[in-house]
Structure 1
Amino acid sequence: MRKQPHVLVIPYPAQGHVPPLLKLATKIAENGIEVTFVNTDLIAAKVMAAMPEESEGWSLIKFVSISDGIGQEEDRTDFYKTTNTMLRVMPGNLKDLIEKINQSSDNEQITCVIADILVVWAIELAQKMGIPIAAFVPYGPATLALSFHIKKLTEAGTLDMNGNATSDGLISISEESLPWKANELAWSFPFNKKTQKVLFGALCAVDQIVKISNWVLSNSFYELDSSSCDLVPSILPIGPLLASNNSRHLAGSFRPEDSTCLSWLDKQPIGSVIYVALGSTGTLNQQQFDELAIGLESLGQPFLWVVRSDLMTGLVARFPDGFEQRLGEKVLAHSSVACFISHCGWNSTLEGLSMGVPFLCWPYFVDQNQNKNYICEGWKIGLELIRDENGIVTRHEIQTKVTKLLSDEGIKGKALKLKDMARRSLVEGGSSFRNLERFIVEMTSS
């Protein structure tokens, strides 16, 4: 008698990684497959606190958590230290969880592990336990293709053993794909070599992870970057996996979402609102905060600015004098959005292009710079905000680029074409629809 399929899903414990995997888990559960979603204790508490109570997704997926070994009083901002602690503690905790599940019932044994490709230890554990593996890629195909080719680039002398480019020229892994700038590699942290070492180590493992995984699931769609997809064997693009307003699809956000904006947005003309969201980790100093605030205000258009409580470096966000009264409500995305001032994280990039919204790009680190290059040079659906000699995006730069973007019909047209391309990939018969269907069939019959 064949076992009933039971999928264990393990995201990397960070804001940009949990939501797309939770969306995928929901899609799998909707096919009648049992799904257990594993977070760390801390992340689980954040996700649960932010979820709407009425969400139907609660009954579809079983949520469990394991300790990451980091005490409540310990500093979690030290990426190097926290990563090493997790590597020491979490494999054993996950193994105990899987064994506990497998021993509870013959019908509930884990038949597949879907793990974020950065959670290398979970994928290696599944291999040791003889469980089929799906590696999930939460970033774009270009970053996956680069990571997959690190060994070749190192052997060719293009990269040194620490992931640094050996020259200032462009780094190309194929004639068809967009080249990488030497100072914009996905693992580059020039001012924090410890963080670079950890991230480079995780990405170095990608080629091995791809080889030992039964499936490589990419949160993208083939038509968006076919040349990068073609560089990675066995890749199955199944995206875009977007946050949905449907309460059934659990968002996976670490912060409660503010939906009070909808009545305000309904009063704004379609395509009139400037939407500003700079991600879950990037920070601004007071000077940069002021420049952005005044630059937006001076445009004389409605705008929505997502201001996290920890957006400011070491400070509580403080608006220029009198600004809060002029601002009104801080709100989220809506169909009235005219353009998107974004940090170009992969989730935000997919959401923006799936909505047909042109971008103003404000990247910080990791894959965001290359996503910006694709947005501006590859797909031509946005413009880059350039920092001055002091590293500040000035109010004048914001005014100039917003005005230029909103008058560029070519960019708007290309953005709408990508929106249609993304939509077609997801509907029945589309490339991502077929790939997800193929994965579910193969996974349930293996």
Structure 2
Amino acid sequence: MSVPTTVLVLPSPAQGHVNPLMIFSQRLVEHGCNIIFVNTEFIHNKVISPMGNQEASVTGRSRIKLVSIPDGLGPDADRNNLKELFGAMLNNMPAKLEKLIEDVRLKDGVTVTCIVADFLMTWALEIASKIGIKGVMFYPSAASMLALQCSIPKLIDDGIIDSNGLPITQKTFRLSPSFPAMDTDSIWWAKMLDSKSGTEVFNAVVHCMPNLELTDWWLCHTSTDLEPEVLSYLPKLLPVGPLLRSPDHDEGEIGTSLGHFWEEDLSCINWLDQQPHASVIYLAFGSSTHFDNKQLTEIALGLELTNRPFLWVVRRDSNCTNNMFEFKGNQGKIVEWAPQQKVLSHPAIACFVSHCGWNSTIEGLSNGVPFLCWPYVVDQFFDKTYICDVLKVGLGFDSNENGLISHEEIKDKVDKVLRDENIRSRAHVLKEKLLSNIKDGGTSLENLNKFIKWLKE
């Protein structure tokens, strides 16, 4: 009897990185692999918190084993201080990961045959190389963003960015003649909330780049239909997206949300069932967006003005006041965290007001939902431009002289996007194209099958 292939999966410590790698892990499980899913202790506690007492049974029945190693910072450290976080992880985690691999071999009799490392954790590929096992890089954002990183020396030589990674001047540029035009707003590490953090992330990216040469396998959460020119520019990069949660996954309801930092409020699905077809505005701004109370008030007033039902995801940690959870407008529902894929596939949804994180972008596009784009940090600004100007399946908001997106602007853009039959039609066509990538004969499914065959060799 053959021994199942055991893959160690290592995401960066952020919701937008844990989520796609968890879905990717579920794909590998469906093909008979066992997974050791390694988070930092800080993130591991966030992942198991929504699971409550079901943690043991879920991970016990599943072939996904959730484990953790310390990131090297104290429990009360500021993990938004990226210089400290990246420095601590690099100093502490490699030895801990190597020990973990050795411990599961000696104590559990399990041999890890491959490490799949998130781009920002590619120091783990050095460990894979050192101990003689397979190593793979997984990129959870748009392929365009990896192309940008691979072009850092060119960007510096061409005077687009300085040696700290920050744009020298506002301008448009192309990475190659066949590549779509980009502007300096696309330089994702420069779109942190402050330039110091941007430089820290840039330094981490530069540090990671040489590790890519340690593997022949670069996997990305995209598809050939979504970014054809970019994938031609980076022929080594294999698209495996869209990565969507299986509704019939054998872990049941809790398993479909495995990897989320908050418990999903399933009551919103029953609520959506009561709403008319294509009537509901869905608003969700991801795991890190923070609005001040002035902007939250403008959103609430804008929703009232639309006179439409809405479903709004408002995290308790997002600077909102508790009375925001009492706001229902004319006919709305507010939840702390939603089963987003189920929400977006619901026939009651009319449009998606989104921060344009890449996971949300993929989920919205895969369900043919028109976008209203409200980016907050990093690659979300590129994603917004791509949605609105390249794919033409959404609109952006314009802020006023006070830097606020006003309630009038919100109502105006909701009305515009819902009146635009061309946007809806393009969104539907793109949905069909994206889903064809993960059906029999689709490029992403063929890439996944090729990868799994290599894993098991």
Instruction: Classify the TM-score, shorter chain.
Output: over 0.9
Report SS of the residue matched to 1:253. coil
Name the SS for the 2:316 alignment partner: coil
Q: Secondary structure at the match of 1:69?
A: coil
- Partner residue, 1:303: 310
Q: Deviations over 1:107-152 (max 9, x none)?
A: 6211110010111322232223332111011101111111111122
Residue 57 of structure 1: CA displacement? Answer: 8.3
1:265-284 matches, within 5 Å, as: 265-284=272-291
Give the deviation of 1:345 after TM superposition: 0.2
Q: Return the offset for 1:301.
A: 0.4
Question: 2:17 aligned with 1:17, yes or no?
Answer: yes
Single out whichever of 161-170 and 50-59 deviates more from structure 2: 50-59
**AA of the residue aligned to 2:65:** K
Q: Secondary structure at the match of 1:308?
A: coil
Alpha carbons 2:244, 2:363 under 8 Å: kept:
yes
Residue deviations 1:324-351 (CA, integer Å, cap 9, x gap) = 4756532542331100000000000000
Partner of 1:427: 439
Answer yes or no: is the 8 Å Cα contact 1:178–1:374 preserved in 2.
no
Aligned ranges for residues 125-140 of structure 1 at < 5 Å?
125-140=127-142
- Identity, % of aligned pairs? 39
| Match of residue 334 from structure 2 | 330
Q: CA RMSD in A?
A: 2.3
Match of 1:85 in 2: 88
Give me the TM-score of the superposition, normalised by structure 1: 0.93
- Aligned-partner Cα distance in 2 for 1:430–1:262: 30
* CA distance in structure 1 between the aligned counterparts of 2:112 and 2:229, rounded to whole angstroms: 35
Question: Matches of 1:324 and 1:437 in 2, distance apart?
Answer: 47
Aligned in 2, Cα 1:358/1:190: closer, same or farther, shift over 3 Å?
closer
- Is this contact kept in 2: 1:55–1:250, CA < 8 A? no
CA distance in 1, matches of 2:223, 2:322: 37
Go from structure 1 to structure 2 and tell me whether the alpha carbon gap of 1:181 and 1:197 turns closer, same or farther (over 3 Å shift).
Answer: same
Relative to 1, partners in 2 of residues 1:305 and 1:244: Cα closer, same or farther, differing over 3 Å?
farther
Q: Given residue 111 of structure 1, which amino acid in structure 2 is its aligned partner?
A: T
For structure 1, list consecutive stretches of 5 or more residues without a partner in the other structure. Answer: none
1:193-231: CA deviation from partner (whole Å, max 9, x where unpaired): 331122112333454233222311111111111111122
Is the deviation greater in 39-48 or in 258-267? 39-48
Matched residue, 1:63: 66
Q: Does 1:413 align with 2:418?
A: no
**Taking structure 1 as reference, are residues 410 and 70 closer, same or farther at Cα in structure 2, changes over 3 Å only?**
same
Partner SS for 1:154: helix
d(CA) in 2 for partners of 1:327, 1:68 = 44
2:40 and 2:71 in contact (8 A); partners too:
yes
Query: In structure 2, how many angstroms separate the alpha carbons of the residues matched to 1:51 and 1:217?
Result: 29
1:191 is displaced (CA, Å) by 5.6
- Once the two structures are TM-superposed, the CA of residue 13 in structure 1 deviates from its matched residue by 1.1
Q: How does 1:7-406 map to 2 (within 5 A)?
A: 7-51=7-51, 53=54, 58-104=61-107, 108-189=110-191, 192-205=194-207, 207-246=209-248, 247=252, 248-312=255-319, 316-319=321-324, 323-324=327-328, 326=330, 328-331=332-335, 332=338, 333=343, 334-406=346-418
Return the alpha-carbon distance in structure 1 between the equivalents of residues 232 and 207 of structure 2. Answer: 19
1:187 alignment partner, SS class: helix
**Is the contact between residue 57 and residue 249 of structure 1 (CA under 8 Å) also seen in structure 2?**
no
Give 3-state SS (helix, strand or coil) of 2:36's partner: strand
Gaps in structure 2 of 5+ consecutive residues: none
Whether the 8 Å contact between 1:243 and 1:251 is mirrored in structure 2 is: no
Tell which deviates more after alignment, 374-383 or 93-102. 93-102
Structure 1 residue 264, shift from structure 2 partner: 1.4
- Give SS of 1:203's match: helix
Whether the 8 Å contact between 2:221 and 2:243 is mirrored in structure 1 is yes
The Cα of 1:171 is off from its aligned counterpart by 2.2
**Rounded Cα–Cα distance in structure 2 between residues aligned with 1:324 and 1:272:** 16
Residues 311 and 332, structure 2, Cα contact 8 Å, conserved in 1: no
Q: Which structure has greater helix proportion?
A: 2
TM-score of the pair, normalised by structure 2: 0.91
